[in-house]
Amino acid sequence: MVFSSGEQVILAVIIGTLAAIVYSLRVLVLMERRIARLDENIEKLVKSVLREELKIEKEEQVIEKELGRKRKIKKR
């Protein structure tokens, strides 16, 4: 099958466009994976910060109880 030069140009443009679409989809998939990993890491960080905050709150309660006891003893 022989193509004229006009048909060859059109075919080349179509093939080039399809290749560009495939490449851009590949890039999008890679970016989505990176974003998913970022989300996972952010979740891990938030969980660790929350754990630390809970520890601090518990320590605060213990300190406040101790201070309350000392104040009562001083008032007597």
Q: Looking at residue 7, what is its pLDDT?
A: 92
- How far, in Å, CA of 49 to CA of 10, rounded? 58
Q: What is the pTM of this model?
A: 0.61
Consecutive 10-residue averages of pLDDT for the chain (76 residues):
86 97 98 97 97 96 85 64
For residue 11, what are the contacts with CB-CB under 8 A and spacing of at least 6? 3
> Given this model, what pLDDT does residue 48 score?
97
Task: Determine the pLDDT at residue 75.
Answer: 62
pLDDT recorded at residue 5: 87
Predicted pLDDT of residue 73: 66
Give the Cα separation of 53 and 40 in Å (integer).
20
Distance linking the first and last C-alpha atoms of the chain: 109
Would you state the pLDDT for residue 3?
Answer: 76
DSSP structure class, residue 2: -
Q: Are 15 and 23 in contact (CB under 8 A)?
A: no
